[in-house]
Structure 1
């Protein structure tokens, strides 16, 4: 992911914007917190989207995030199964109280 973030940063730099990575990207600086959208804000947002598309930031980011989530689910399978059973028990009990 570091590689794709660097590629995005380099892409943004080509347009005169210096952001280390997409998590520190447009919209967080004081100039972009006003009640109305400025031309500068629209311009940087457009370049952000263009660079994300060009470098596949969203595809890589979501794939890495999904892998982390799968690993966490596998590592916690027993605990998650217990939670699932508890939820089913609660729903069954609620259905009984509601007469369904």
Structure 2
């Protein structure tokens, strides 16, 4: 993610914007807090999207997040299996009560 964020930041810089990473821009920029977007905000948002595409921010970010989630699920497989069993029991109980 560090490399991808750096690539995004460099792209933004080439277009005249200075943001360290996409989590800090453009929606969190204090200059853009009004109820409607002006030209500067729209231009910034367009550049943000273009740079995210260029650096593949969304693709890499979602892949990294999915990998973390898969690892967490593997590490917690017993706990998750217990939750799954409990939910199935609850659903079976609800079906039994509702079908009376």
TM-score by length of 2: 0.96
Corresponding residue number in structure 1 for 2:13: 13
Corresponding residue number in structure 2 for 1:44: 44
Corresponding residue number in structure 2 for 1:53: 53
State the distance in 1 between where 2:35 and 2:84 align: 44
What 5-or-longer segments of structure 1 have no aligned partner?
none
State the distance in 2 between where 1:95 and 1:42 align: 52
Corresponding residue number in structure 1 for 2:91: 91
State the distance in 2 between where 1:31 and 1:25 align: 11
Corresponding residue number in structure 2 for 1:29: 29
Residue 64 of structure 1: CA displacement? Answer: 0.4
State the distance in 1 between where 2:95 and 2:31 align: 52
State the distance in 2 between where 1:79 and 1:43 align: 47
What 5-or-longer segments of structure 2 have no aligned partner?
none
What value does the CA root-mean-square deviation take over the aligned residues? 1.0
TM-score by length of 1: 0.96
Q: List structure 1 segments (4+ residues) > 6 angstroms apart after TM superposition.
A: none
